[in-house]
Amino acid sequence: MTDTYLDMVNSGLGKQLAGKLGLPRPVTLRRFTADGDFPSGSVLVLGRGAAGDAASSALLGWDLDVRRHAQDVDRVGAVVIDYTEVDSPADLADAALELASAVRKLRPGGRVITLSRPAPGIGTGAASGMLPGARQLTPSQAAARQGVVGMLRSIAQEMRGGVTANGILLADDVAADAPGVTGALRFFLSGRSAYVDGQFLTVGDDRGDADVDWVHPVAGKVAVVTGAARGIGAQVTRTLAASGATVIPVDVPAAGDALSKLANELRVPALQLDVTDPQAGQKILDLAVSRYGRLDLVVHNAGITRDKMLANMDQAKWDSVIAVNIESQLRITETLLASDQLGPAPRIVCLASTSGVAGNRGQTNYAASKAGVIGAVAATAPLIAEKGGTINAVAPGFIESDMTAKIPAARRQISRRLNSLQQGGTPEDVAQAITFLLSDAAGGINGQTLRVCGQSLVGA
């Protein structure tokens, strides 16, 4: 679905008109390409902790121009701020004000990334209170750490030109140079995170692989995607295949034609299956193992909506949404974890939604199911960690799709602009975030929900 307004305000006459009238001027985002995926310009690293030094080393290893003082650079592609050693709110000022002097130097599509430690027991979408190794903090230390969260999210709302701001939280027992930190840094710098803004990822342990092939980060993996015939599911399937995985697309028999077309395009087997089938998990395993000997990656994408105001909700609409969106995921995941036929580092990503974070009018059943996904992911994390794996969720916001195309035009335009990037995301944005979380570069990230919403101004 095309955003004609975005196209218009990026043309010569439309750009001038929008400027004169004070209209929103979203820009085309810098998305992932195999060639030249880093932002243009120097990378400014602020702060004097070990995490900043480790980040500088990684950035230099990627052949980027690294500077440590704002006055030393004219064209800034990204700013990385090390706040891992703050002990009081007063410690936030120096780097923040140096960033302020560099904001106007940020190039379009640039990045601002903070490195900090979580404040235990305070939610940032990272279940920080449950992290192993979390240490007791003084009130001043907790205030400083949580201050980084509020500051970063405010910075994200002030950026323009497709610049995003995101944060990496290092658990207290995670080293500054842990592979998972490097992987998260690479993701946030990359075009794979184009529609991720104002969000945090917590690296909870030292697992991960800093040497993943960024163009083919899931090379050699066997993956299954449910709800794969259309929309986000089809894009996830294609993106994983382009990223090196062998993907088995799964969808209901009613979507058989579209499913077969996709499978033929990728030259892989497809599975027509209702995910609410009590044997769905075993059937998925049986096909993957019979064809490829194991199953490494699973994307729980299948989902439905049956929207009604609660006063008009009936049993059938409620039960069907819960059955497809969360109960099927729980049952399939339980079957997978009980199996000895998963790969050595199994990874699962579940589709949640910003409706599950903030709620949405007329979607009590859907919001309950997607909030359930977030809860299930957090509780399943320690179980899959025992197998050397991870499970995470991705929560899309407004994504340009056949479903959102049915929203009345005026409401659709408003929904597009109600985020820091002032536009809708694409299925590719969701697929790229999922691909990262399925890669070994994200091995230290477990039990979390990453919003792919352009920092929607709804909810946390």
Hey, which residues are catalytic here? Answer: 366
- Dihedral angle over CA of 163, 195, 165, 370, nearest 10: 160
301 near 233, Cβ under 8 Å? yes
185 near 217, Cβ under 8 Å? no
Nearest to 423, CA basis, from 90, 8, 59, 25? 25
The pairs formed by 136-141 with CB atoms below 8 angstroms and a separation of 24 or more are 138/87, 140/87, 140/88, 140/89, 141/86, 141/87, 141/88
- Total residues belonging to the chain: 460
447 near 171, Cβ under 8 Å? no
Place of tokens 């059943």: 365
The whole-angstrom distance between residue 291's C-alpha and the CA centroid of its chain comes to 30
CB-based contacts of 460, cutoff 8 Å, min separation 6:
123, 125, 357, 358
Q: How far apart are CA 336 and CA 275, in angstroms?
A: 14
